[in-house]
């Protein structure tokens, strides 16, 4: 089963290469540019269901998980995330080990504790709204937003 998955990924790379290059002799730089474009297309293919409803969260893509401008300064400032509509998408940690089974949602409301620090958030998912502590919320950075700020 794993071999078939790998072969399908290789086909996703080889087919565009054949269509673009054909029998042309390319320089190293041209080849790397074409491969980078193919990589970009593959990394922006949706991994989750694509909904027609505009209010639903954008589907997850491999590009959402790439570490562009990775920061180690956790916890995030959830108040700023709420104001930025692009990065409100979040994964809700569940008791399962597989991240594929975690729920995808949007931060609807940020709740502060008595000390003024953000302690929990209300998350809107397809299953409803849930109040969760920030330790179980993993905001997803959008690659488009990251590239605009560079």
- Asked if residue 144 lies in contact with residue 89, where contact means CB atoms within 8 angstroms, the answer is no
Higher pLDDT: 141 or 59? It is 59
- Per-residue pLDDT, 97: 66
Nearest-angstrom CA–CA distance, 87 and 122:
15
**pTM higher than the cut 0.75:** no
Residue with tokens 């700020």: 149
Average pLDDT estimate for 35-43: 89
Q: What percent of the chain has pLDDT over 90?
A: 8
Give percent of the chain with pLDDT exceeding 70.
75
pLDDT for residue 128: 86
Place of tokens 């290789």: 10
For 139, the 3-state DSSP assignment is strand
Summarize the confidence of residues 24-40 as an average pLDDT.
90
What pairing do the DSSP bridges indicate for beta strands 137-139 and 128-133? unpaired
The residue ranking higher by pLDDT, 48 or 15, is 15
- Residue 26 above 80 pLDDT? yes
Q: Which residues pair with 91 in a beta bridge?
A: 104, 138
pLDDT of residue 87: 43
- Residue position matching structure tokens 């990775």: 70
pLDDT digits (tens, 9 = 90+) for 47-87: 888 877 777 777 888 887 775 555 554 445 655 555 554 44
């Amino acid at each position: 089963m794993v071999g078939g998955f790998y072969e399908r990924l290789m086909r996703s790379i080889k087919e565009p290469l054949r269509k673009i290059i054909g029998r042309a002799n390319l320089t190293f730089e041209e080849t790397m540019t074409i491969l980078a474009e193919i990589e970009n297309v593959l990394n922006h293919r949706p991994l989750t269901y694509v909904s027609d409803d505009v209010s639903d969260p954008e589907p997850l893509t491999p590009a959402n998980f790439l570490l562009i401008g990775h920061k180690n300064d956790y916890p995030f400032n959830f108040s700023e995330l709420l104001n930025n509509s692009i990065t409100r998408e979040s994964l809700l940690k569940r008791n399962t080990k597989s991240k594929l089974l975690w729920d995808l949602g949007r931060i609807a409301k940020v709740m502060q504790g008595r000390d003024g620090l953000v302690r929990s958030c209300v998350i809107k998912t397809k299953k409803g709204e849930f109040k969760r502590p920030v330790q179980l919320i993993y905001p997803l950075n959008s690659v488009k937003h990251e590239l605009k700020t560079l």
